[in-house]
Amino acid sequence: MTETKAVVIGAGIGGLALAIRLQTAGIATTIVEARDQPGGRAAFRRLEGYTFDTGPAAIADPAPLTALWALAGDDMAAAVTLLPVDPGYRCHWPDGAVLDLADDEALRAEIGRRAPGDAAGYRKLRDHAAALRREGLDQPFADAAALLRAAPWVVRHQAWRSVHSTVARFVGDEKLRQALSFGTLLAGGNPMTANAAALRPGSEGEAWCVAGGTNRLIAALAALFERRGGTIRLGDAAVRIETLGDRVTAVETASGWRTDCAMLGANCDMIHACRDLLAGSAAAARTAARLERKRQAPSVFALHFGIKGTWPGIPHRTILFGERYEEALSDTFGHGLLAADFPLFLDHPSVTDPSLAPPGCSTFRAFALVPHLGKFPEDWRRIAPLIEQRVLDVLERRLIPEVRERIVTGFSYSPADFVGDFNAYLGSAFGPEPLPAEGTWFAARNRDAAIGNLYFVGAGAHPRGGWAGALESAHSAADLMLGRG
Ligand SMILES: Cc1cc2nc3c(=O)[nH]c(=O)nc-3n(C[C@H](O)[C@H](O)[C@H](O)COP(=O)(O)OP(=O)(O)OC[C@H]3O[C@@H](n4cnc5c(N)ncnc54)[C@H](O)[C@@H]3O)c2cc1C
In a domain, 441, yes or no: yes
Alpha-carbon distance of 403 to 307, in angstroms, equals 8
Structural domain boundaries, residue 258: 5-53+213-295+434-481
From 13, 7, 9, select the one nearest 270 (Cα to Cα).
9
Alpha-carbon distance of 300 to 260, in angstroms, equals 37
Whether 153 has a pLDDT exceeding 80, the answer reads no
In a domain, 84, yes or no: no
Whether 439 has a pLDDT exceeding 60, the answer reads no
Alpha-carbon distance of 376 to 415, in angstroms, equals 10
Q: What is the dihedral of CA 366, 370, 376, 381, to 10 degrees?
A: 10
In a domain, 283, yes or no: yes
Residues 306 and 229 in one domain: no
Residues 224 and 263 in one domain: yes
In a domain, 264, yes or no: yes
DSSP state string for 14-26? HHHHHHHHHHHTT
- The answer, yes or no, to whether any atom of ligand 1 lies below 6 A from the CB of 65, is no
- Three-state DSSP state, 308: strand
- The last residue of one of the domains, among 205, 221, 240, is 205
Residues 196 and 274 in one domain: no
Q: Which residue among 41, 428, 476 is best mutated to probe the pocket of ligand 1, counting the most ligand atoms within 8 A of its Cβ?
A: 41
From 38, 1, 51, select the one nearest 23 (Cα to Cα).
1
Average pLDDT, whole number, for the chain? 92
Cα of 356 to ligand 1 centre, how many Å?
21
Alpha-carbon distance of 485 to 482, in angstroms, equals 8
Residues 134 and 100 in one domain: yes
Beta carbons within 10 angstroms of residue 221's beta carbon? 27
Whether 115 has a pLDDT exceeding 80, the answer reads yes
Residues 38 and 11 in one domain: yes
Tell me the per-residue pLDDT of 50-98, one tens digit each, with 9 for 90 and over: 999 999 999 988 999 999 999 999 999 999 999 999 999 999 999 999 9
Residues 302 and 268 in one domain: no
Q: Given this model, what pLDDT does residue 408 score?
A: 98
- The answer, yes or no, to whether any atom of ligand 1 lies below 6 A from the CB of 349, is no
Residue 45 contacts residue 54 (beta carbons within 8 Å):
yes
CATH of the domain at 449: 3.50.50.60
Alpha-carbon distance of 458 to 453, in angstroms, equals 17
Tell me the per-residue pLDDT of 340-375, one tens digit each, with 9 for 90 and over: 899 999 999 999 999 999 999 999 999 999 999 999
Cα of 466 to ligand 1 centre, how many Å?
8
Residues 195 and 263 in one domain: no
Residue 52 contacts residue 29 (beta carbons within 8 Å):
no
Q: Which residue among 231, 268, 365, 433 is best mutated to probe the pocket of ligand 1, counting the most ligand atoms within 8 A of its Cβ?
A: 268
Residues 270 and 373 in one domain: no
Q: What is the mean pLDDT of residues 228-251?
A: 97
In a domain, 77, yes or no: no
Residues 227 and 166 in one domain: no
317-320 vs 89-92, strand pairing mode: parallel
- The answer, yes or no, to whether any atom of ligand 1 lies below 6 A from the CB of 241, is no
In a domain, 78, yes or no: no
Per the DSSP assignment, residues forming a β-bridge with 303 are 366, 412
Alpha-carbon distance of 437 to 441, in angstroms, equals 9
Least confident of 21-30, 266-275, 425-434, 443-452: 443-452
In a domain, 344, yes or no: yes
Residues 106 and 185 in one domain: yes
- Three-state DSSP state, 168: helix
In a domain, 66, yes or no: no
- The last residue of one of the domains, among 205, 230, 264, is 205
How many distinct structural domains can be found in the chain? 3
Residues 402 and 448 in one domain: no
Residues 245 and 290 in one domain: yes
- The answer, yes or no, to whether any atom of ligand 1 lies below 6 A from the CB of 10, is yes
Tell me the per-residue pLDDT of 366-402, one tens digit each, with 9 for 90 and over: 999 999 999 999 999 999 999 999 999 999 999 999 9
- The last residue of one of the domains, among 205, 223, 238, is 205
Least confident of 122-131, 139-148, 244-253, 321-330: 139-148
- The answer, yes or no, to whether any atom of ligand 1 lies below 6 A from the CB of 468, is yes
